[in-house]
Amino acid sequence: MSDNLLSFEPATGEELWRGPVSDIDAEVAAARAAWPDWASKAVTYRTESLRRFADRVKAEGEALADLIARETGKPLWEARTEVESVANKVDISVKAYAERTPNRRSEGAMGLRTAVRHKPHGVLAVLGPYNFPAHLPNGHIVPALIAGNTVVFKPSEKTPATGARLVELFHEAGVPADALRLVVGGPEAGKALAGHAGIDGLLFTGSVRAGIAINRQFANNPGKIVALEMGGNNPVVVWDTPDIRTAATLVVQSAFLSAGQRCSNARRLIVKQDLAEPLLQEVRALANRLIVDHPHADPAPYMGPVIDNEAADGLTESFLILMSNGGQVIRHMTRPDPDRPFLTPGIIDVTAMPERPDIELFGPLLQVVRVNSFEAAIAEANNTAFGLSASLIGGSPQLYDQFWANVRAGVINWNKPTNGASSSAPFGGVGLSGNHRPSAFYAADYCAYPVASSESDAIRASIGVGLRDDPADAPKLVRKGFL
């Protein structure tokens, strides 16, 4: 086995970065040793360190965006929005920590006080994904550090360069080197870190297969916190709207932003039967206009490649399987360069398929289902074990109320895409999409635990019932026949 991990640019195949595989025991031990000192710092000290990190990100923004674009293949304009989210996360997390984990005291009789305060867990492991290699792990790391945890971070083996640079920026800002440790390695390193006895919890963003494995791994250890965000088979429903062109734009944004490599991308378009033809005509026309090219191309592309050839091969095979099982092609998914993982948007009508696969096809592939009633649309939206995001386009306020009340998802939108969630709100799903520990603004909830205290300045105690009389009263009890 090689002692180095390599990263390659999806758009060109060129080597971008290489680094030595980490000693996980050593990294966890370093974070463990650093924890008491970091946790004892005032929260103002920790937040100021992280604000300096945000300043470093802004100062290095263009270089970091270029690195993200090269390593993921996403367009440079989109990488810049990711960098902006990384910097903005600090102030959002400071506000969330104050709002979600405040200190509370109440005064009672005779000087009694009741207090609620929060403690960090200890050493938290963070496993990051490749699609947002800076923003998504940063969404765990920042609130974990603010709360007083130390962190051992393993980026995806497909995007280690971005992860390594992110950690460097924290250290350059004054976050102690041992308060945030980097683990470089492949899937086996991730399994070893997740199962390490020296961590107090795991914060994970990634595939449902890996998330379920992690959930099983921690099933017999309830003392460790586990937060899982595992993607979705997300529906976008189009209903009763005269503005077909705008509806089509929202569908395309939902399905094909980031080359379909967002956990919140729409995988299924559920459309009212009598709207289907005009809507699909507009969706297909707009998809035909999307530029698919390398990250720095001019004009700027809407989509870059998917992460690697293996992912592109899997998506192409999935499209062919849907075709061979009754799917009707609306727009063929094509591979412009057989040697690189560029894919054009694929759209396929699966209404007539007797069984539709309930999997997350992580790429620019949209399945279409036509229905005749709104109740059928809701039933189809819920025809999945996932439950991350869902969106209704069109309809009335009453229909949206019905949609919101009955669709099972953690993010439910109206006349907006399924993706592009705000960091100032919670983000997470139900079912196979998560374990009811939403991230973003609610990440503070799983980075510290509440401690309730009853406190008094003076010692006071009495037992008012169920005691024998004082032994000094024994002669009296003997005379009365009790002893």
User: Active-site residues: which are they?
Assistant: 229, 263
Burial of 235 (0-12, 13-18, 19+ CB in 10 A): buried
SS3 360: coil
Q: Which residues of 435-469 are buried (b: 16+ CB within 10 A; e: fewer)?
A: bebbbbbbbbbbbbeeeeeeeeeeeeeeeeeeeee
How many CB atoms lie under 10 A from the CB of residue 471? 7
Cα separation of 25 and 47, whole Å? 28
| Size (the chain), residues | 483
Cα separation of 228 and 213, whole Å? 11
Kindly report the backbone phi and psi dihedral angles of residue 92, in degrees, each rounded to the nearest multiple of 5, phi listed first. -60, -40
Which residues face 175 on adjacent strands?
none
Cα separation of 125 and 196, whole Å? 9
Cα separation of 2 and 13, whole Å? 19
Cα separation of 257 and 266, whole Å? 10
Question: Is 207 within 8 Å of 231 (Cβ atoms)?
Answer: yes
Cα separation of 330 and 271, whole Å? 14
* CA count, 13 A, side-chain hemisphere, 138: 31
Cα separation of 449 and 444, whole Å? 9
Question: Is 247 within 8 Å of 394 (Cβ atoms)?
Answer: yes
Q: Which of 266, 261, 232, 273 is nearest to 249 (CA)?
A: 266
At residue 72, what is the residue type?
A: T
Question: Is 326 within 8 Å of 350 (Cβ atoms)?
Answer: yes
* Structure tokens that stand for 423 in this block: 């960091």
Cα separation of 203 and 442, whole Å? 13
User: C-alpha dihedral over 362, 366, 371, 377, to 10 degrees?
Assistant: 40
Question: Is 346 within 8 Å of 256 (Cβ atoms)?
Answer: no
Cα separation of 358 and 48, whole Å? 45
